[in-house]
Structure formats: C-alpha cells, structure tokens
Amino acid sequence: MHAGEFLISMPKLRGSFFGDSLIYLWAHDEDGAQGLVVNHPFDLTLGELMKQLQLPTATNLAGKVVSGGPVEPQQGFILHTDDVSVEGSEPAAGVGGVGLTVSYSREMLELIAAERGPNRFLLALGYAGWGAGQLEEELADGAWLTAPSSQDVLFETPFEQRLDRVAHELGIDWRLFASEGGVA
C-alpha cells in the first residue's frame, strides 16, 4: 500500500463511518496515513458553503462537498491539482503523472470562489487518519482493499459511481464479499 492509492472498504466496515467508502490515500509513511473519503457527498453545494463562509463567488458553484472523514470534521480539506499553491498546502501523492496538493486554507477557498483556483479540485470536510501501523493492521485484518487511483475517479466520476467503478476496474463486485467468514 502506498500514498496515491485508493482504499476500498470491505463489508466488515458496514455500519461504521467507513462503510461503503472509497478513500484516496494522500499521505502514508512510518508515522501513519491520511486520506479523504471521496464518495460520500453532503447535501451541500460548494456555492452554499461559500455563502455560509461569506465568500462571494464569480459563478454558481454547483459541485458537492464530501464528508472526508471523522478527523477534524469542521475543517475543510481541498485535494487539487498542483497548478495553484498557497500557504497552508502540502504535497499529496500524485495520480497519473500529475501532482496533487492538499490545501486547508481560506485563501484557497477564496481563489476557487473567484475562479482563480486549481483546474481540478475536491472539497472535503474532515479527513481519515491512522496512527503508525494502524492502517497496516486494518489491511491485514481484511478491512480494506487497495486499488490504483485515477484523476478521472477523483474529479469527474459521479460520487455514487466511484466505489463501484474502482472495484469493477479490479474485476470484482465488492458487494458480494461476506462480512464474516464461514465454517465448513
């Protein structure tokens, strides 16, 4: 497992925050891992969020905001192409030869609102985080599958199709997996 990959939640996580989740893992090292759930949108558009934050927008921003994870759920995290950078940004693992960045500053939101932001972006509230060795233990326990990521899935595929698409690209129907093993 490496930064820049997707994590597909397995059925044993149903009923938890991570049930039916697709996570983009933006960072992973010996100290832990960080990622964003990319397929659970809130019923909140970018335009509505900008209005709540009193940020004037140049156009109607219709895209949805996603629930990125249970850590810091009141904080915005913007996963975006690295064509625009601001203070409060950190490099994320790239996808398909294109660099990505995670920003968590109001300045990036202001640029997006003014249509001067990055070419492609995803806005999440909260993130998913694991301590040292924790994600590796969950992988060994069968809680997650790893899969290659793509910018098309991250930024273009409709939210409700993302998990199925990534699983299909692996040649599996993740819904058919049992949550508990049987005894013969």
Q: Tens digit of pLDDT for each residue in 62-97? A: 788 999 999 999 999 999 988 888 887 887 876 766
* pTM for this prediction: 0.89
Q: In 21-155, where does DSSP find H-type helix?
A: 46-52, 106-113, 134-140, 151-155
- pLDDT value of position 8: 94
Cβ proximity of 140 and 64 under 8 Å: no
Q: Which two tokens stand for residue 97?
A: 């030869």
Instruction: Supply angle C-alpha 61, 56, 88, rounded to 5.
Output: 85
- The domain covering 5-176 belongs, at the CATH homologous superfamily level, to VC0467-like (3.40.1740.10)
* pLDDT higher than 80, residue 137: yes
Cβ proximity of 15 and 179 under 8 Å: no
- State residue 168 phi and psi, 5-degree precision: -60, -40
What region, left, alpha or beta, does residue 163 occupy, with left being phi > 0 and alpha being psi -120 to 50 degrees? alpha
What region, left, alpha or beta, does residue 52 occupy, with left being phi > 0 and alpha being psi -120 to 50 degrees? alpha
